[in-house]
Amino acid sequence: MPDSPPLNDSPGDDPRDEPVEDPLGQRLLAAAAEEFAARGYGGARVAEIARRAGVTTGAIYSRYRGKADLLAAALQDATAGEFDELFADHRFEGRTEDILVLAGGHLIDWSELDETARSLSGMLLESFAAARHEPEVRDILRSGLGARRRRLAEILDTAKDVGGIDPALDTDAIVTLYHAVSLGFLLLEAVDYPLPVGDRWEELIGRLVGAVAAER
């Protein structure tokens, strides 16, 4: 695989991108993630989210219009730094296509998730189940996947521009494959399905990424 020029700047380098401290907001979103993961969208109650966060329902309704609005915010908060974390990974060597290897490798890490990450996993799973019957939830997930698609497409197109990925390959097709694999892992984790050994999985991902590299 040809070496791509290093990326000098990763997302989040601009001081203006630094998150504003909001302890109450973070408590509300963490409580919402726990409630949605535990009870699903249909069974979740705003009053229970308030109890988990140690506030009144008024504190929630002063910020969010209702349960759907709170779910959208919780999902956005939980996934906002997904690709930024990959750029910060110590294994990132500066080539755009490295992000694909890291993203694929991280899928095998479910067994080491902390409780916060497990809440996100459960919330996503319950949200997809609810999306079959709840148009609001379906719209929230479609919007979130669309934002994720655009972010990953930017990374892929950059890799194409510098020779890391074959420009003849369709960007949307690669993004769809990534979504299919990552969401498939979500289902496997839900039933505690045995996963391959980490280094063997990473070897496979490395070969797949190598297969989409531009010809020398």
What pTM did the predictor assign? 0.72
Q: What is the pLDDT of residue 64?
A: 93
**Structure confidence by residue, pLDDT tens digits, 169-205:** 999 998 898 888 888 888 888 888 888 887 888 888 8
Contact status, residue 52 vs residue 44, Cβ threshold 8 Å: no
Q: Quick: pLDDT tens for 125-172.
A: 888 988 998 898 999 889 988 988 998 898 889 888 888 889 999 999
**In-domain check, residue 6:** no
Has residue 3 been placed in a domain? no
Query: What CATH number is attached to the domain comprising 47?
Result: 1.10.357.10
- Does residue 10 lie in a domain region? no
175 is in which domain, residue-wise?
Answer: 15-211
**pLDDT per residue over 1-51, tens digit each?**
444 433 334 444 444 444 567 889 999 999 998 999 889 998 999 999 999
Nearest residue to 31 (alpha-carbon basis) of 47, 20, 9: 47
Count of Cβ atoms closer than 10 Å to residue 136 Cβ: 16
The predicted structure's pLDDT at residue 119: 73
What is the helix (H) or strand (E) element at residue 122, kind and residue range? helix 115-131
- 10 Å Cβ neighbour count for 186? 16
Domain count, the chain: 1
